[in-house]
Structure 1
Amino acid sequence: MLITIPQVLSAEEVEQFRTHLDKAAWQDGTGTAGPVARQVKNNQQLNDTQEPAISLGKHILQALSQQPVFISAALPAKIYPPKFNRYNLAENYGTHVDGSLMQIPGTQQTLRTDLSATLFLAELEEYEGGELTIETQYGAQVVKLAAGDMVLYPSTSLHQVSPVTRGARIASFFWIQSMVRDSQQRELLFELDSSIQGLSAELGASHTAIMALSATYHNLLRQWAVPA
């Protein structure tokens, strides 16, 4: 399941982010890649243990806590602190899959990467190329979103970032461990929750059919969820 979430950050927030990111000290991105990914990774990243990555990452997490679609789709148990990358001219990231387990910085906690997220921070007119291509059961899906928009997709997916041919592509990326590990179960819950929300707007939240569907949703979640 691939989901785009518009306006996770407002235009004003994106502008504030860029004020910090455009003057930040970027480093070679291969330093954080595994032995296989290092062979196909060609970009830059911020040191996520220092400013401005720390405060900007916290801002993203706060924004996501106010995003019902994200909460419904991800059912997050743990979120890896957001990281930041930049692709300049001719830089790219070849086909790869994200690591399955990651230690959350500054803790002894291990996160299972169920979902990957990319939050775009460069306007579409700022750069060419840099498309995120995700392999799905329905074929390759090409994603290139406006600044402030985010895409959420299974971490099991092969994906790549095509070479930038003009300008610079700037984004935040991170991973989520869901309370519901099985991707099909998560998708069913998301579809059910979306239907409930749509019907609630039409019939009212107190309608007997809505109450019955809500009970079904929560009973399924109770059966399938494993809190962190």
Structure 2
Amino acid sequence: MSTKPQRALSSASVVPPGIRAQSEHLSLVATMPAVFSVEECERIVAIARAHPGSQGTVDARADAADPIRRSTVRFLNPEPASEWIFARLDQAVTRLNAAYAFELQAFAEGVQIASYTDGGHYGWHADLGPGAFSRRKLSLSVQLSPDADYDGGDLEFLVSRDSAARSQGALIAFPSFLVHRVTPVTRGERWSMVSWIAGPPFR
């Protein structure tokens, strides 16, 4: 697991939003609208722009990106200037996990801010993987860009047939084993914030 600063989750109990059932199948994708305001989304993007970006990779390799992915990423770790972001995500996770009932422990990898433009995409993949990635249990994605700012760039899920909300500030949560993708951005720029909540590996 990453040696970067970790932030433990709170243990408050809040009523969950529930997991939706669609078209006679159980959806494992949950959506919470307006978790962040428009102004807060803009603030997060501004914070990210102040950090140097790097080419997104598929796993821990830093030498070259796999063709499956094309995006620019920046990482924010828990510190006084970003604590409000983690606190807001913590509140959402507490509500969501009342439905998922996963054994969760911490934001072990901080948050990743990604920007996609000019064909930027991320092909089919799962966030859960070997080694350090085996502790990823719940994936979070926050839409930071207004829907009208870009075309394409849809977050889609393979088995569940869900397409994620595009509204600015919405949080989409799903088990890290769920295969998903970001379709190519054909116009404009899409910004998103992703975090993985860690716990003991699934058994």
Supply the distance in 1 between the matched residues of 2:89 and 2:50 (Cα, whole angstroms). Answer: 25
Question: 141-150 or 61-70: which moved more?
Answer: 61-70
Q: Is the 8 A contact 2:120 2:185 kept in 1?
A: yes
Aligned length: 168
Q: Does 1:64 align with 2:79?
A: no
Shift of residue 97, structure 1, vs aligned partner: 1.6
Q: Deviations over 1:84-114 (max 9, x none)?
A: 11101111111112243564xxxxxx86112
The Cα shift of 1:64 comes to 2.1
Q: Which AA in structure 2 matches 1:13?
A: E
SS of 1:146's equivalent in the other structure is coil
- Could you tell which deviates more after superposition, 23-32 or 167-176? 23-32
Question: For 1:166-205, what per-residue CA distance to the aligned partner results, in whole angstroms no more than 9, with x for missing partners?
Answer: 11111111212357957xxxxxxxxxxxxxxxxxxxxxxx
> Which residue is equivalent to 1:219?
none
Residues 31 and 111 of structure 1: CA distance in aligned 2, closer, same or farther (over 3 Å): closer
When Rg is computed on C-alpha atoms for both structures, the one with the higher figure is 1
Aligned pairs (5 A) from 1:17-166: 17-30=44-57, 38-46=66-74, 48=75, 53-54=76-77, 55=79, 58-67=83-92, 68-73=94-99, 76-80=104-108, 81-101=110-130, 103=132, 112-136=135-159, 139-166=160-187
Distance of 1:180 and 1:90 partners within structure 2: 34
Q: Kindly tell me: are residues 99 and 34 of structure 1, through their superposed partners in 2, closer, same or farther at Cα, counting changes over 3 Å? A: farther
Cα shift at 1:28 = 1.1
How many Å separate the matches in 2 of 1:165 and 1:115? 29
2:23 aligned partner: none
SS of the equivalent of 2:145 reads coil
**Structure 2 portions without partners, runs of 5+:** 1-27
Identity %, equivalent residues: 24
User: Residues 117 and 87 of structure 1: is their aligned pair in 2 closer, same or farther, counting only changes over 3 Å?
Assistant: same
Q: Distance in 2 between matches of 1:42 and 1:171?
A: 14
> Whose RCO is larger (CA < 8 A, sep 6+)?
2
The TM-score, its normalising length taken from structure 1, stands at 0.63
1:3 aligns with 2:52: no
Q: Classify 1:71/1:158 alpha carbon distance in 2 versus 1 (closer, same or farther; 3 Å).
A: closer
TM-score, normalised to structure 2's length?
A: 0.70
1:141–1:92: structure 2 CA closer, same or farther, 3 Å change rule?
A: same
CA root-mean-square deviation: 2.8
Contact 2:151 2:187 in 1 (8 A): yes
Structure 1 residue runs without a partner (length 5+): 104-109, 183-228
Contact 1:133–1:160, Cα closer than 8 Å, also in 2 = yes
Which has the higher mean CA deviation after the structures are superposed, 90-99 or 37-46? 37-46
Q: SS where residue 86 of structure 2 aligns?
A: helix
Report which of the two has the higher share of helix: 1
1:5 Cα deviation after fit:
1.2
